[in-house]
Amino acid sequence: MRGGARLAGEVDVAGAKNSVLKLMAAALLAEGATTLSAVPDILDVAIMSEVLRRLGCTVQRVGGTLRIDVPARPGHEADYDLVRRMRASIAVLGPLVARCGEAKVALPGGDAIGSRGLDMHVAGLVKLGATVESEHGYLIARAPRLTGAQVWLDFPSVGATENLLMAAVLAKGTTQIDNAAREPEIVDLCDLLVQMGAQIGGIGTSTLEVEGVEHLRPVAEHATVPDRIVAGTWAIAAALTRGDVLVSNGRAEHLEIALDKLTTAGAAVSTEPGGGFRVRMDRRPRAVDVVTLPYPGFPTDLQPMVLALNAVADGTAMVTENVFEARWMFVNELSRLGADVRTDGHHAVVRGRAQLSGAPVTAHDIRAGAALVLAGLVADGVTEVAEVHHVDRGYERFVPKLQSLGADVRREAAPEEPPLALG
Ligand code: UD1
């Protein structure tokens, strides 16, 4: 990309990656065809489709709709070649052990953003009566029938909350998950599970109460919640490039703190009568301090973008990362563009510079990739982001959308690891 363009126009966001992958896993809980709509056209959906196919499901995509046909007796194994491509494959663990009495899921690699343990997933399943072993790179969970229990999470982990929820809905008796995560994507998952016949109380709060049922039924249509991280990326892009962007189906209520930070930075943020929100900026952003926290705190997935914003802001900001400790890998790349960032433990101090300077950089994960592209849009000259295939995992038609907003950017084929040939 060549820096200097001001992003202006309208953009819409697809369904949330972090929701749809779990909705797809939840479909395993019922025999028959579940249809999801507003499904983003991203690589991670293709990978999860393949995970489900290898479990015996038929998965068909027509436009933004995905039909998942689950057999009476699905397989119970997710192997390493797919799980290593996408950590979220671990979301099949809970549904498979609940539905089949057994699950064998490869231990994930995934994004290079921290150790991302699975201890809470495992401890929770054990509380529900499963035996869990780790052997030859696989987690193997077994339970003829799970039984409801009280589970307290040390930290409101998104993945652990989802796995335990999907296990508990078919368990015998009542499960209470305390200190549960309450991201909008978890609410979306609860909504689908309730449509399937699950009994869940406390949806959207940090205490979930699940009354297990014998069977769940497939769902004829469920629309995926719009992606708040993609919407937030466009919002920050507008502020960063001193632009004017309408995110036509963005849900401002899912981004309250992030949009408030942009207002503090000097942007005008308004919700639009027809839905969506608009971000306008006509000045150099002011530096904004940010602390990442589980929802409704500032999302860790927007931390790299806010670091990029602060890199060109007027003033000095402190950005604190509380969710993924190794997310600072991105700082080295941002520094290659001339950003002045120092990190110490959970904190990064960013001294804003008037101008970044274009350079070749490398994306190490989805969000860092998107943030490097945003930084490149305000850097002097040309920036080339390598390993941009990471961005394809979470952003639908990112480059065409940037172009439609006026960015000078193009995609070049690169000798990168090609995506799997996914049927
Ligand atoms: C999900 C999102 C990711 C987002 C994150 C936090 C998906 C596919 N990914 O990831 O984009 O950044 O939520 O909002 O939905 N942890 C443990 N033990 C566990 C589970 C988690 O130590 O058993 C730690 C992790 O190492 C991490 C923190 O808890 O430091 C948060 O993890 P978690 O909330 O589980 O995130 P994910 O579900 O992996």
Task: Report whether pLDDT(167) > 90.
Answer: yes
Q: Measured from the CA of 157, which atom of ligand 1 is nearest? A: 34
Q: What is the pLDDT of residue 112?
A: 42
Q: What is the pLDDT of residue 417?
A: 53
| Location of structure tokens 């000798």 | 415
The alpha carbon of 158 and the centre of ligand 1 are apart by a number of angstroms equal to 6
The span from the CA of 395 to the CA of 230, in Å, is: 7
Q: Would you say 343 and 364 are in contact if contact means Cβ atoms under 8 Å apart?
A: no
The pLDDT tens digits for 96-125 are 999 999 999 998 754 443 445 889 999 999
Q: What is the pLDDT of residue 421?
A: 45
In the structure, what pLDDT confidence band is assigned to residue 227 with cuts at 50, 70 and 90? Answer: very high
Residue 40, CA distances (Å) to 232, 291, 293 in order: 16, 29, 26
The alpha carbon of 10 and the centre of ligand 1 are apart by a number of angstroms equal to 31
The answer to whether the Cα torsion of 227, 187, 92, 221 is positive or negative is negative
Q: Measured from the CA of 185, which atom of ligand 1 is nearest? A: 15
The alpha carbon of 116 and the centre of ligand 1 are apart by a number of angstroms equal to 6
For ligand 1, residues with CB inside 6 Å are: 18, 21, 88, 114-121, 155, 157-160, 300-301, 323-324
Residue of the CA atom closest to atom 32 of ligand 1: 157
DSSP state of 211: E
Residue of the CA atom closest to atom 27 of ligand 1: 116
Q: What is the pLDDT of residue 355?
A: 94
Structure pTM?
A: 0.95
In the structure, what pLDDT confidence band is assigned to residue 229 with cuts at 50, 70 and 90? Answer: very high
State the catalytic residues: 111
Number of H-type helices and E-type strands within the chain: 14, 24
- Give the residue from 369, 359, 324, 362 showing the smallest Cα distance to 339: 359
The beta strands (E) that lie in 27-136 are given as 32-37, 58-62, 65-70, 77-78, 102-106, 131-135
The alpha carbon of 186 and the centre of ligand 1 are apart by a number of angstroms equal to 13
Copy the structure tokens of residue 285.
């952003």
Please state the rounded mean pLDDT for residues 331-343: 97
Task: Report whether pLDDT(310) > 50.
Answer: yes
Q: Measured from the CA of 120, which atom of ligand 1 is nearest? A: 23
| Residue-wise burial string across 288-311, b where 16 or more C-beta atoms lie within 10 A, e elsewhere | bbbebbbbeebbbbbbbbbbbbbb
Q: What is the pLDDT of residue 328?
A: 86
Copy the structure tokens of residue 314.
């007027």
Q: Would you say 317 and 349 are in contact if contact means Cβ atoms under 8 Å apart?
A: yes
Task: Report whether pLDDT(357) > 90.
Answer: yes
The pLDDT tens digits for 12-57 are 999 999 999 999 999 999 999 999 999 999 999 999 999 999 999 9
